[in-house]
């Protein structure tokens, strides 16, 4: 009787075991197969991230390979704000502070209480802008690292790198920083860079990278115009991290590439010579050009600035000093339009030669009559009868105004346009001005809408007055064509560009546009113009006598100019010019100088040209001063009556005579508003530490 009851119990127990096993198998199926992915994702594991690093910008050198811009290592502390926030939340959860973990404070509070105390314990703390950090986190989270410090020393960097695992979400990195070894030298030519705009990330890059740092880019000078060549290929790191966010190892690294090397045509020794010479003036520009190739050997503008002040950013106070300086240190006056005065008598002579009226002789009674208006020559009692050569030597207004009216406005304007006036030269620099050519399409449609050129205005065009403006570079281009026998070259300041494989992206080749001889200028007529420029320097009565280099055995040729203009809202000021070349036979240099508020071309610009030539020919004899790190020059806007040369140069006894620039006073003429100089592109302004970011760090208490 007991056996059936025993079996019933056995069956029940067996059924219970089978049900339990079935239940266990079902749960195992659920965990291991049906919901495997869900639970695998919850298991702490390692993962990889991709980090984009900026490329390294290429070098910029002078024509002899002297490095003008290179790169230094910049050591930075950067925060992965998302990783820091996650790490902070994990600590709160591990210490049963779920309420705090569910409502985390501002990111800056976490940094102040969680990160900075750890940094301070290693003497690596710093101040920052808390508002900027909070905005950065809201905008970019962990995609874009937040730069906490960019001023680490190498020792601090090495120490930090060694203790990196103690700082989850905090790391150090090396980034390239532009370096200008010669200070303010060639600042308008070289320019500067601006930091990458943090919001400029494509959707594809957002998907590909977990951390992204873009490239700085050039915003002025060669840094801007050659930016596409200077940019290096980005670096890409693949890092293995554990569940705590600690870096376990570097799985792959494509190092950042170096951009192409840009070789400039300028000679750094000549550049510093010209800049130091120009500092005798307040606001001025100079161009030194090789007339046989169109290469710009030096381009200087004063006042200037220090490019390194913008790297990696510029503080607001320093930028305001630049911005509020009425002398406009950011303006590259060498490619900015200035009233040219009598330097435009040379293009008038060339146009006359094209149309076979350069052999004319004119009588100068001291004025030209236009209806009831007399436009006077600077020599009010007149020059008498002159031909082209003597008119250039003595800078006679009457001769050139008459010639211009013989030609007529259409031929004058077309001839001037052929000589590059009223248009950009094509130099490899941003913000080049076209100047103003009265009578051309732009002047008639945009500048003086509906206006027409009267005989008086055509006459004034020939002597570079009224609305006329040209850049020193445009004038240098014309002087080069006169000096070299008629070959009209496009100016070049970039000699060549070479990539890291040694391939020439831009080759070193002169850019010949055309020949003046093909335009109808004869060799004889060109020689007459050259002789007129020679006489201006070397004969009694010449307006450029203070350019003379006879004491060092060199003959030069030049043309002065003095133009009346408005300046800083005041009328009656002048621009003083001297445009020249040397030696007279087989010329090697063209030198053009323009000085704002200079009283006269012969008295102000001429002596500066003389000093530049003395330095140039001394260099040819082997007398080169060492290159120095030049401080910036603030400039001024005082009137400059005369530039005095040292007594040993024997120029004190040479009388200065020539244009006054006041011919426009005779003409009822309403001047144009002053042209605005190009505005400097907005730089990266240093974000100063605020009150919250400057407080001493206070560690949060975590109960163990």
pLDDT, tens only, 151-175:
999 999 998 888 765 678 898 899 9
Inform me whether the pLDDT recorded for 252 exceeds 60: yes
Q: pLDDT grade, residue 660 (50/70/90)? A: low
Q: If DSSP codes are grouped into helix, strand and coil, which group holds residue 315? A: coil
How far is Cα 289 from Cα 286, in angstroms, rounded to an integer? 10
CB atoms within 10 A of CB 40: 9
Q: Tell me, rounded to whole angstroms, the distance of Cα 652 from its chain centroid.
A: 39
DSSP codes joined into one string, 219-248: -SHHHHHTHHHHPPPPEEEEEEE-TTS-EE
Measure the CA–CA gap between 432 and 422, rounded to whole angstroms.
Answer: 11
Are the C-beta atoms of 388 and 532 separated by less than 8 Å? Answer: yes
- Dihedral angle of Cα 544, 565, 682, 425, to the nearest 10 degrees: -50
Q: Is 614 in contact with 641 (CB distance < 8 Å)?
A: no
Of the pLDDT bands very low, low, confident and very high (cuts 50, 70, 90), residue 671 is low
Measure the CA–CA gap between 158 and 154, rounded to whole angstroms. Answer: 6
Cα 18–19–20 angle (5° rounding)?
90
In CATH, what number does 268-495+508-666 get? 3.40.710.10
Residue 436 has pLDDT above 90, yes or no: yes
Note the pLDDT tens digit of each residue in 498-531: 999 999 999 999 999 999 999 999 999 999 999 9
Q: Nearest 5°: CA angle at 175, between 174 and 178?
A: 135
- For residue 604, the 8-state DSSP code is I
Whether residue 677 is predicted with pLDDT greater than 80 in this model: the reply is: no
The answer to whether residues 51 and 158 touch, using CB atoms and an 8 Å cutoff, is: no
Question: Burial level of 104, CB count in 10 A (0-12/13-18/19+)?
Answer: middle
What are the residue ranges of CATH 3.40.710.10 in the chain?
A: 268-495+508-666
Q: What's the pLDDT score for residue 645?
A: 87
Q: What is the three-class DSSP state of 72? A: strand
pTM of the full structure: 0.89
Kindly give, in sequence order, each residue whose CB lies less than 8 Å from that of residue 628, ignoring residues fewer than 6 positions away. 182, 183, 272
pLDDT at 190: 98
pLDDT in tens, 43-100: 567 888 898 999 999 999 999 999 999 999 999 999 999 999 999 998 899 888 888 8
Can you give the pLDDT at residue 57? 98
What integer pLDDT is reported at residue 378 of this predicted model?
A: 83
List b or e across 291-312, with b for residues whose CB sees 16 or more CB atoms inside 10 angstroms.
Answer: bbbbbbbbbbbbbbbbbbbbbb
For 117, other C-beta atoms within 10 Å of its C-beta total: 15
Beta bridge pairs of residue 61: 67, 263
H or E segment and range at residue 376 = strand 373-376
**Helix (H) and strand (E) counts for the chain?**
24, 24
For residue 13, count CB atoms less than 10 angstroms from its CB and return exposed for 0-12, middle for 13-18, buried for 19 or more.
exposed
Residue 589 has pLDDT above 60, yes or no: yes
Q: What is the DSSP string of 455-521?
A: HHHHHHHHTT-TT-BB-HHHHHHHHHHHHTTSEEEPPBSEEEEE-TTS-EEE-----EEEETGGGT-
User: Over the stretch 322-350, which tens digit does the pLDDT of each residue have?
Assistant: 988 989 999 999 999 999 999 999 999 99
**φ, ψ at 373 (rounded to 5°):** -105, 135
Give the integer Cα–Cα distance in Å for 243 and 69: 43
Name 664's Cβ contacts closer than 8 Å, sequence gap at least 6: 460, 465, 466, 564
Residue 388 — very low, low, confident or very high, per pLDDT cuts 50/70/90?
A: very high
- pLDDT for 35: 67
b/e per residue, 255-287, with b = 16+ CB within 10 A? Answer: ebebbbbbbbbbbbbbbbbbbbbbbbbbbbbbb
- Specify the fold of 47-264: Penicillin-binding protein 2a (Domain 2) (3.90.1310)
| Number of neighbours of residue 409 by Cβ within 10 angstroms | 19
Q: H or E stretch including 173?
A: strand 170-179
| CA–CA gap between residue 486 and residue 419 (Å, rounded) | 11
Beta carbons within 8 Å of 49's beta carbon, 6+ residues apart: 210, 211, 238, 239, 241
- Whether 34 has a pLDDT exceeding 80, the answer reads no
Where in the chain do CATH 3.90.1310.10 domains reside?
A: 47-264
Mean pLDDT, range 14-27, rounded to an integer = 78
Given a contact cutoff of 8 angstroms between Cβ atoms, the answer to whether 510 and 293 are in contact is yes
* 414-434 tens-digit pLDDT: 999 999 999 999 999 999 999
Confidence of residue 572 (pLDDT cuts 50, 70, 90): confident
Angle between helices 455-462 and 397-407 (to 10 degrees): 120
Q: What percent of the chain has pLDDT over 70?
A: 91
Omega of the bond prior to 312 within 30 degrees of 0, cis?
A: yes
Under the phi-then-psi rule, with left for phi > 0, alpha for psi from -120 to 50, and beta for the rest, what region is 356?
left
Q: In this structure, are strands 284-289 and 296-302 parallel, antiparallel, or unpaired?
A: antiparallel
Largest CA distance in the chain: 158
Q: How far is CA 658 from CA 348, 542, 556, 612, in A?
A: 18, 8, 18, 21
CA neighbor of 673 nearest in space, from 562, 573, 567: 567
Q: What percent of the chain clears pLDDT 90, i.e. is strictly above it?
A: 68
Residue in 641, 558, 570 with CA at minimum distance from that of residue 342: 558
**DSSP secondary-structure letter at 445?**
I
**pLDDT of res. 704:** 42
Rounded to 5 degrees, φ, ψ at 596 are -75, 140
Total count of residues recorded for the chain: 704
Q: Please determine, for residue 651, whether its predicted confidence score (pLDDT) is greater than 80.
A: no
């Amino acid at each position: 009787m007991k056996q059936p009851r025993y079996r019933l119990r056995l069956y029940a127990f067996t059924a219970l075991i089978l049900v339990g096993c079935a239940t266990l198998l079902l749960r195992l199926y659920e965990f291991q197969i049906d919901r495997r992915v869900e639970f695998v994702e919850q298991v702490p594991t390692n993962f990889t991230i991709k980090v984009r690093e900026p490329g390294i910008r290429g070098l910029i050198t002078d024509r002899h390979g002297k490095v003008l811009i290179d790169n230094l290592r910049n050591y930075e502390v950067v925060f992965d704000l998302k990783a820091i926030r996650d790490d902070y939340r994990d600590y709160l959860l591990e210490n049963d502070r779920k309420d705090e973990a569910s409502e985390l404070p501002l990111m800056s509070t976490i940094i102040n209480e969680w990160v900075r105390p750890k940094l301070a314990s290693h003497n690596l703390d710093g101040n920052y802008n808390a508002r900027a950090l909070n905005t950065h986190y809201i905008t970019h989270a962990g995609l874009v690292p937040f730069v906490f410090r960019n001023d680490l020393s190498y020792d601090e960097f090495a120490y930090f790198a060694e203790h990196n695992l103690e700082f989850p979400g905090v790391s150090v990195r090396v980034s390239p920083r532009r370096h200008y070894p010669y200070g303010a030298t060639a600042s308008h030519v070289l320019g500067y860079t601006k930091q990458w705009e943090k919001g400029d990330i494509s959707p594809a890059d957002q998907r590909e990278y977990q951390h992204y740092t873009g490239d700085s880019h050039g915003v002025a000078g060669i840094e801007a115009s050659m930016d596409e060549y200077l940019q290096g290929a980005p670096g890409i790191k693949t890092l293995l991290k554990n569940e705590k966010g600690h870096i376990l190892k570097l799985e792959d690294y494509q190092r950042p590439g170096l951009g192409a090397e840009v070789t400039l045509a300028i000679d750094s020794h000549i550049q510093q010579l010209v800049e130091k010479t120009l500092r005798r003036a307040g606001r001025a520009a100079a161009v030194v050009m090789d007339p046989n190739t169109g290469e710009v050997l030096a381009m200087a503008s004063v006042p200037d600035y220090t490019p390194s002040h913008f790297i990696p950013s510029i503080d607001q106070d320093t930028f305001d000093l630049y911005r509020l300086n009425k002398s406009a240190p950011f303006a590259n006056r060498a490619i900015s339009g200035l009233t040219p005065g009598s330097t435009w008598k040379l293009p008038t002579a060339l146009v006359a030669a094209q149309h076979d009226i350069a052999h004319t002789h004119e009588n100068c009674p001291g004025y030209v009559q236009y209806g009831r208006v007399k436009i006077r020559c600077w020599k009010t009692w007149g020059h008498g009868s002159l031909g082209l050569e003597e008119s250039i030597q003595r800078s006679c207004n009457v001769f050139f105004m008459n010639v211009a009216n013989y030609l007529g406005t259409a031929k004058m304007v077309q001839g001037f346009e052929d000589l590059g006036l009223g248009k950009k030269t094509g130099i490899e620099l941003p913000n080049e001005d076209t100047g103003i050519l009265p009578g051309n399409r732009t002047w008639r449609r945009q500048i003086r809408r509906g206006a027409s050129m009267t005989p008086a205005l055509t006459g004034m065009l020939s002597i570079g007055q009224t609305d006329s403006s040209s850049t020193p570079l445009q004038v240098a281009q014309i002087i080069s064509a006169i000096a070299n026998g008629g070959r009209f070259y496009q100016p070049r300041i970039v000699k060549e560009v070479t990539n890291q494989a040694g391939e020439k992206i831009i080759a070193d080749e002169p850019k010949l546009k055309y020949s003046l001889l093909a335009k109808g200028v004869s060799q004889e007529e060109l020689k007459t113009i050259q002789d007129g420029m020679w006489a201006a320097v070397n004969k009694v009565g010449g307006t450029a006598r203070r350019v003379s280099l006879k004491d060092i055995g060199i003959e030069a040729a030049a043309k002065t100019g003095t133009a009346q203009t408005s300046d800083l809202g005041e009328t009656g000021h002048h621009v003083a010019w001297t445009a020249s070349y040397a030696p007279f036979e087989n010329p090697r240099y063209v030198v053009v100088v323009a000085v704002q508020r200079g009283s006269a071309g012969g008295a102000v610009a001429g002596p500066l040209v003389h000093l530049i030539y003395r330095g140039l020919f001394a260099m040819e004899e082997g007398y080169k001063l060492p290159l120095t790190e030049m401080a910036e020059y603030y400039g001024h806007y005082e009137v400059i009556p005369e530039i005095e040369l040292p007594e040993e140069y024997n120029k004190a006894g040479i009388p200065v005579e020539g244009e006054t620039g006041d011919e426009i006073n005779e003409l009822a003429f309403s001047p144009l508003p002053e042209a605005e100089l190009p505005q400097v592109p907005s730089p990266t302004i240093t974000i100063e530490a605020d009150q919250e970011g400057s407080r001493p760090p206070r560690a949060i208490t975590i109960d163990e």
